[in-house]
């Protein structure tokens, strides 16, 4: 069988790139003992459950399958590279629900009722992550705090105000959202240029530590992770119509249930998704703060710093070590066309210097306390990295059973927002594997993977809202 190649030009029908760079999160977790699990061990010929992808979706699906009664020894996880080396270990660290901003855009595609459900689901995810971390004592630097949406222009302040109004008119709960404008917004956010700001509960975590906790836990119970083992094809088994043959670069494993947790690369094994799930490269940076943003001056909340819908920066400051993590929107209009176009890539081996320069310049504009010329050696830009996010053309993930392929399931397509979605989606998939009904999942119906949804998607795109 010919092997698929990595695709620097961004086709979703590719395996992840073979020489990814390391993110801040990966650089600070190199001692994880399962990083290269079973790298050389032969694959078993069969396994009842095969999960493809070892990010937070794959790890949590395995965890929830075991909670629901699956024998851990019946589960294997296949991972193309080292453990959890996709977006889950390369993101900007936010566990941040959308409180209302996406309402207008979601409504246009999915209707107001679904738009409300999408937003309610994100609020629920924050609670679920907080409960999970507490219940299992997960050491992932989770910080439950508040988050600010900061409007840096009057135009964007108007957009946000209109979205909130539409959300409230449709019956959306806004009791947890605080609003500030002018001087009050500037004082609350410590941003002199803030025009307005909204604040609601949000959080941050060390995403690689969270992903690794999930893997460590399921491996500890008997599940097996095979790293450096890309799956390249899934087809009906020649030996039984009840089984699937999963072809990997290291041989074939047969399974009753196959769960695709491959996010941006989902279309390699599910080619029918090629037009609907698109890899996009995103970039994040760590900065070591100067005294004006350190110690008691550290930022206590997280931020989305917004000039417009598609021009924004995400910011958290880690409670543990004070490191700032700065993410950048993918279509920032201040970037050159060439740089913006370069986001259509699955190459996470390096970062883009123009984006890093823009991020630093903008950070200095927004927080004038950060004056680069006064930084001492060791302060300022620490590290830059990229990761591949999975954009779906209707901006919501694919979740559930794949009817046309009985025994196969998907949990993928998180639109750069997985930390605010996976903790309800992966448990739902685990439940569905055990014959549960979609309605018991409590998820917005528009997340369900159905042939009708694919037909609707083939009729046209919605503009990306993140």
Ligand X SMILES: Cc1cc2nc3c(=O)[nH]c(=O)nc-3n(C[C@H](O)[C@H](O)[C@H](O)COP(=O)(O)OP(=O)(O)OC[C@H]3O[C@@H](n4cnc5c(N)ncnc54)[C@H](O)[C@@H]3O)c2cc1C
| Strand positions, DSSP E, 84-208 | 94-95, 143-151, 178-181, 196-204
Hey, what are 331's tokens? Answer: 């279509």
User: Any contact of residue 51 with ligand X (CB under 6 A)?
Assistant: no
User: Any contact of residue 52 with ligand X (CB under 6 A)?
Assistant: yes
User: Any contact of residue 392 with ligand X (CB under 6 A)?
Assistant: no
Using CB under 6 A, pick the residue from 34, 117, 257, 417 that binds ligand X: 417
Q: By C-beta, is 195 or 391 nearer to ligand X?
A: 391
User: Any contact of residue 430 with ligand X (CB under 6 A)?
Assistant: no
C-alpha distances (whole Å) from 31 to each of 26, 40, 123, 212, 286 are: 10, 19, 33, 11, 20
Which of 27-35, 46-54, 164-172, 431-439 is the region at the interface with ligand X (rule: CB under 6 A)?
46-54
Q: Which of 63, 123, 130, 69 is nearest to 98 (CA)?
A: 123
Q: Which residues contact 26 (CB under 8 A, 6 or more apart)?
A: 85, 89, 90, 208
User: Any contact of residue 21 with ligand X (CB under 6 A)?
Assistant: no
Residues 148-187 touching ligand X, rule: CB under 6 A, are: none
Using CB under 6 A, pick the residue from 49, 51, 63, 86 that binds ligand X: 86
Question: What b/e string do you get for 97-125 counting C-beta neighbours within 10 Å, with b at 16 or more?
Answer: bbbbbbbbbbbebbebebbbbbbebbbbb
Q: By C-beta, is 197 or 315 nearer to ligand X?
A: 315
Using CB under 6 A, pick the residue from 13, 34, 90, 343 that binds ligand X: 90
State the minimum distance, in angstroms, from the CB of residue 379 to ligand X. Answer: 23
Q: By C-beta, is 62 or 194 nearer to ligand X?
A: 62
User: Any contact of residue 227 with ligand X (CB under 6 A)?
Assistant: no
Using CB under 6 A, pick the residue from 43, 78, 105, 293 that binds ligand X: 78
State the minimum distance, in angstroms, from the CB of residue 261 to ligand X. Answer: 5
DSSP codes joined into one string, 40-99: SSPPPSB-SEEEE--SHHHHHHHHHHHHTT--GGGEEEE-SSSTT-SGGGTS--EE----
| φ, ψ of residue 382 in degrees (nearest 5) | -105, -45
- Alpha carbon distance 417, 317 (integer Å): 19
- Alpha carbon distance 377, 369 (integer Å): 17
Q: By C-beta, is 76 or 412 nearer to ligand X?
A: 412
Which of 181-189, 358-366, 417-425, 458-466 is the region at the interface with ligand X (rule: CB under 6 A)?
417-425
H or E element at residue 126? helix 112-135
Q: By C-beta, is 90 or 190 nearer to ligand X?
A: 90
Which of 56-64, 217-225, 350-358, 370-378 is the region at the interface with ligand X (rule: CB under 6 A)?
56-64
Q: Which of 202, 86, 207 is nearest to 139 (CA)?
A: 207
Using CB under 6 A, pick the residue from 97, 387, 427, 444 that binds ligand X: 387
Q: By C-beta, is 157 or 264 nearer to ligand X?
A: 264
CB 187 within 8 A of CB 79: no
- If 0-12 CB within 10 Å is exposed, 13-18 middle and 19+ buried, where does residue 322 land? middle
Place of tokens 């959080």: 203
Using CB under 6 A, pick the residue from 11, 26, 54, 286 that binds ligand X: 54
> What are the CB-based long-range contacts (under 8 Å, 24+) for 109-114?
109/394, 109/395, 109/462, 110/394, 110/396, 110/444, 110/446, 112/170, 114/444, 114/445, 114/446
State the minimum distance, in angstroms, from the CB of residue 351 to ligand X. Answer: 10
Which of 251-259, 263-271, 372-380, 431-439 is the region at the interface with ligand X (rule: CB under 6 A)?
263-271
Sign of CA dihedral 271, 389, 392, 53: positive
Q: By C-beta, is 15 or 109 nearer to ligand X?
A: 15
User: Any contact of residue 418 with ligand X (CB under 6 A)?
Assistant: yes
Q: By C-beta, is 66 or 284 nearer to ligand X?
A: 284
Using CB under 6 A, pick the residue from 11, 29, 47, 57 that binds ligand X: 57
| φ, ψ of residue 428 in degrees (nearest 5) | -65, -45
State the minimum distance, in angstroms, from the CB of residue 415 to ligand X. Answer: 7
User: Any contact of residue 202 with ligand X (CB under 6 A)?
Assistant: no
- Alpha carbon distance 271, 402 (integer Å): 13
- 332 in helix, strand or coil? coil
Using CB under 6 A, pick the residue from 26, 212, 263, 346 that binds ligand X: 263
Q: Which of 446, 450, 410, 451 is nearest to 430 (CA)?
A: 410
Residue 310-329 contact track with ligand X, rule CB under 6 A, x = bound: ----x------------x--
Which of 40-48, 141-149, 282-290, 457-465 is the region at the interface with ligand X (rule: CB under 6 A)?
282-290
User: Any contact of residue 87 with ligand X (CB under 6 A)?
Assistant: yes
User: Any contact of residue 99 with ligand X (CB under 6 A)?
Assistant: no
Number of residues forming the site for ligand X (CB under 6 A): 47
- Contact residues: ligand X, CB under 6 A: 15-16, 52-58, 78-81, 84-88, 90-94, 230-231, 261-263, 265, 268-269, 282-284, 314, 327, 387-389, 412, 414, 416-420, 422
């Amino acid at each position: 069988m010919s092997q698929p190649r990595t695709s620097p030009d961004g086709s979703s029908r590719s395996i992840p790139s073979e020489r990814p760079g390391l993110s801040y999160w990966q650089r600070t977790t190199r001692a994880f003992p399962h990083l290269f699990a079973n790298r050389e061990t032969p694959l078993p010929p069969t396994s009842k459950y095969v999960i493809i992808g070892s990010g937070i979706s794959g790890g949590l699906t395995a965890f929830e399958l075991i909670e629901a009664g699956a024998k851990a020894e019946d589960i294997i996880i296949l991972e193309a590279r080292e453990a959890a080396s996709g977006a889950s270990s390369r993101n900007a660290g936010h566990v941040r629900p959308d409180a209302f901003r996406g309402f207008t855009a979601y409504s246009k595609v999915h209707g107001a009722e679904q738009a409300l459900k999408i937003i309610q689901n994100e609020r629920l995810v924050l609670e679920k992550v907080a409960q999970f971390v507490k219940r299992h004592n997960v050491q992932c630097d989770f910080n439950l705090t508040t988050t600010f949406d900061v409007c840096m222009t009057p135009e964007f302040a108007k957009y946000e105000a209109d979205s909130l109004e539409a959300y409230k008119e449709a019956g959306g709960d806004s009791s947890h959202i605080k609003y500030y404008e002018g001087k009050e917004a500037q004082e609350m956010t410590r941003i002199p240029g803030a025009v307005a700001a909204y604040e609601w509960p949000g959080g941050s975590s060390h995403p690689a530590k969270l992903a690794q906790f999930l893997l460590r836990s399921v491996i500890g119970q008997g599940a097996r992770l095979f790293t450096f083992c890309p799956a390249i094809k899934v087809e009906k088994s020649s030996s039984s119509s009840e089984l699937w043959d999963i072809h990997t670069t290291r041989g074939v494993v047969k399974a009753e249930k196959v769960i695709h947790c491959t996010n941006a690369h989902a279309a390699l094994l599910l080619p029918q998704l090629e037009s609907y799930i698109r890899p996009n490269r995103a970039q994040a940076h760590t900065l070591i703060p100067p005294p004006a943003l350190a110690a008691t001056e550290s930022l206590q909340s997280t931020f989305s710093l917004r000039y417009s819908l598609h021009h924004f920066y995400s910011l958290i400051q880690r409670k543990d070590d004070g490191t700032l993590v700065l993410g950048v929107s993918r279509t920032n209009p201040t970037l050159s066309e060439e740089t913006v176009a370069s986001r259509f890539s699955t190459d996470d081996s390096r970062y883009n210097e123009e984006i890093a320069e823009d991020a630093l310049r903008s950070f200095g504009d927004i927080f004038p306390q950060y004056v680069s010329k006064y930084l001492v050696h060791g302060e300022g830009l620490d590290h830059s990295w990229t990761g591949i996010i999975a954009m779906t053309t209707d901006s919501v993930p694919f979740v559930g059973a794949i009817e046309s392929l009985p025994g196969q399931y998907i949990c993928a397509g998180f639109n750069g927002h997985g930390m605010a979605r996976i903790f309800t989606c992966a448990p739902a998939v685990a439940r569905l594997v055990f014959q549960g009904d979609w309605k018991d999942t409590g998820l917005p119906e528009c997340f369900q993977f159905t042939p009708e949804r694919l037909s609707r998607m083939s009729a046209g795109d919605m503009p990306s809202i993140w």
